[in-house]
Amino acid sequence: MNISLNWLTDYVDVTLPAAELGELFTRIGLNCEGITHTDSDIVFDLEVTSNRPDCLGHIGVARELAAATGKTLRRPEVLGKEVSAAGQPAADFTAVDVQAPDLCPRYTARVIRNVKVAPSPQWLVDHLQAVGLRSVNNVVDITNFVLMEYSQPLHAFDYDKLDENRIVVRRASKGEKLLSIDETTCELTEDMLVIADANKPIAIAGVMGGLDTEVGQATTTVLIESAQFDPLNTRHTSRALGLMSDSNFRFERGVDPLAIDEASLRACQLICELAGGELADGLVDVWAEPFESPVVTLRPERTDKLLGITTPPERQVEILAALGLGPKLQDGKITCTIPPFRADLTREVDLIEEVARLVEYDNIPTGGKVSHPIMPMGQTERIRREVISTLRAAGFSEAITFSFIDAEEAVLFGVDNPLRVDANVRKTNNALRPSLLPSLLKACKNNQALGNDDLGFFELAAVFPPGESTDSSLPAEFVELAMVSTDDLRDTRGAMEAAVGRIAPEAKITVLPKACRGFAEDVSAEILLDGQPVGAMGRISPDIQRYYGLEKSIAAAVLRFDALEALANLTRTTQPLAKFPPIRRDLSLILDEAVTWEKLSNAIQAIDQPLRASEEYVTTYRGKPIPKGKKSVTIAMEYRWAEGTLQNARVDEEVQSLMEGLQKEFEVTLRG
């Protein structure tokens, strides 16, 4: 929110230098983001929280400043009937029919005749330019001036362009359209509130007016709208249509229903002064339910106890009075009648916070020490750190990517209907990722564009696959471990198996060839832990490579972290180093093509051989002189005896026993 110092001094005396004034704004809750010095003005960029819409206008900020400095707030002098043309009431010129009082609690209309639309005087242009608004004409500029003064949006209609010269506030009809002032064609829906004349919509309530009824050079009579609209409906309509304005920014946060009339009259007074108009007597005011001020009670001793300092009850009353809260001290309690511009004050503690702001937080003492108990690292965090450490040691870099992707990216990986936010809120990257691979492939593309060709990334983060959730109020979500690399697929598999082995050393890892969405058909496999499918790995499919514009082939693997966590065993056992050397035998076995390494490995492990230390896959050969339909699988067998040096004869017996068992299982023969 831009606040002009020249404008601010119209309502409160300011004696502080700009830098000190910016610091004061921050101390009282209006964080000063920056100060801009121009040739004739100083502009403060204030961060106004959503619960303080009253500070989205210069009067509200001036009220805060007056309370903080002890100065007097000077509100604009609104003359009322002295600017009216006596004898003809506004009701003779127009009527207002509010058909949706739930969305429009109050709507007022005033009519000004014989207006001369012209350029604005320089002082008005300067005020608007200081806060970032451009000048249009004197009538429109005055409505914007009052908007930035009272934080009350207004709209001026060309009265003669209204069918039957009347206003209807209603929900839009199905299929209705409106061309807004910024020339956007708006497709209206039945849950949107519109301002209409007798036949058609002329404005989107709380958001933007229509082009057909805007005030122009030929306008001679204007109808001034000042109203209150439902914040949630205004926000929904604005986002659905993709229209943003200073008006909807304020209506979404709430306006003061009692200031509606005063702001309207203030604008009419200025129009009569600057555009030579004549104001019809009174106004047309449709009010669903007049405002009743809530009452909140404050115990002064509670303020002292909560803040840790003593603030006399009289000083608390003084602060609350300066903020316009009408406090009364009686029987040891302070009773405040909350004005409508402070709808955020509903409890005693809210009033205590107001006292704290004006006493200033810097004056509240801090305790002698702050303790931070150190908690032991949880199991999940320990596992995460072990995985990260292992993959880093394997040459992979950790990536942290955004959780949103384009919906079409999810389709590439087999999810046709990903979870997504409203496209009007996020037009791109509006789908929650069902897998980490799209995010990591984007990282590969970005690195490739910067000349980094040798890539290896991993990420451990949440994914959101569509489907049933254990909590009906939330979408499905789980943590996934994903890896991508431009190196050989075997390197990626090795790093993945190293991470699994570090966390769950007893778990059996199985990689079964299987077509998985997103991977090349001939280089794709399913990952199983103890027989349960937990992920996939392979080469990214050529179509996806082209989609992301990747020049190098990408090896990838994904694994459900919760499945790995369930099998975790971080307790390590030790055994002494072997004193005696092993004997290794390489066996080239000729067997049927249908026999997989998994089956062969399981069969070997099923044969009880205490001296066998390990078996390891070496290679597979096909071709002459191997018969058709057969293959030669070479495995490295290692034998070791803990009590002494093994003799070759003893190992030969072990190998012979192993071959007999495999021959029964697969009819395998030993290649010469």
pLDDT in tens, 340-384: 999 999 999 999 999 999 987 777 777 777 778 888 889 999 999
With a cut of 80, say whether residue 542 has pLDDT above it.
yes
Give the pLDDT confidence score for residue 468 in this predicted structure: 54
Above 60 in pLDDT, residue 470? no
pLDDT value of position 328: 95
Q: How far apart are the first and last CA of the chain?
A: 86
pLDDT > 70? residue 81: no
What is the per-residue pLDDT for 257? 94
- Whether the per-residue pLDDT at 119 is higher than 60: the answer is yes
Which pLDDT band holds residue 473 (cuts at 50, 70, 90)? low
**3-state SS, residue 187:** strand
pLDDT at 427 > cutoff 80 = no
CATH assignment of 379-566, among 3.40.30.10, 3.30.930.10, 3.40.50.2300, 2.60.40.2220 = 3.30.930.10
Q: What is the mean pLDDT of residues 34-54?
A: 94
pLDDT recorded at residue 87:
59
Both tokens of residue 241?
A: 């249509």
Please, which residues bridge with residue 588 across strands?
A: 634
Element (H, E) at 33: strand 31-37
CATH architecture of the region 80-287: 3-Layer(bba) Sandwich (3.50)
CATH 3.30.930.10 residue spans of the chain: 379-566
This prediction has a pTM of 0.64
The CATH-assigned architecture of domain 2-69 is: 2-Layer Sandwich (3.30)
For residues 62-82, average pLDDT:
86
What mean pLDDT comes out for the span 166-186?
A: 94
Section 507-519 average pLDDT: 89
The whole-chain average pLDDT of the chain stands at 92
Q: Give residue 469's pLDDT band: very low, low, confident or very high (50, 70, 90).
A: low
Average pLDDT (119-146) is 96
Strands 96-98 and 167-171: parallel
Do 591 and 666 contact (CB within 8 A), yes or no?
Answer: yes
SS in 3 state form for 550-589?
CCCCCEEEEEEHHHHHHCCCCCCCCCCCCCCCCEEEEEEE
Give mean pLDDT, residues 430-453.
93
Predicted local confidence at residue 421, as pLDDT: 82
pLDDT grade for 260, boundaries at 50, 70 and 90: very high
What H or E segment, with its residue span, contains residue 592? strand 583-592
pLDDT at 363: 79
CATH 3.30.56.10, the chain: domain bounds: 2-69, 295-362
Instruction: Annotate 602-657 with DSSP letters as a single string.
Output: HHHHHS--TTEEEEEEEEEE-STTSPTTEEEEEEEEEE--TTSPPPHHHHHHHHHH
- The CATH architecture that domain 295-362 belongs to is 2-Layer Sandwich (3.30)
Mean predicted confidence (pLDDT) in 432-452: 94
With cut-offs at 50, 70 and 90, classify the pLDDT of residue 204.
very high
Higher-pLDDT residue of 466 and 515 is 515
CA distances 547 to 76, 346, 404, Å, are: 62, 54, 17
Amino acid 430: pLDDT:
86
| Residue 252 clears pLDDT 90, i.e. is over it | yes
**Do 147 and 153 contact (CB within 8 A), yes or no?**
yes
Segment 320-325 shows an average pLDDT of 94
Fold of the CATH domain 583-670 = Alpha-Beta Plaits (3.30.70)
Confidence class for position 667, pLDDT limits 50, 70, 90: confident
User: Residue 428: its pLDDT value, please?
Assistant: 81
pLDDT, tens digit, 9 for 90 and up, residues 569-616? 988 888 788 888 999 999 999 999 999 888 898 899 899 998 998 889
- Provide the pLDDT for residue 423: 72
d(CA 255, CA 341): 7
Q: pLDDT band for 527, please (50, 70, 90 cuts).
A: very high
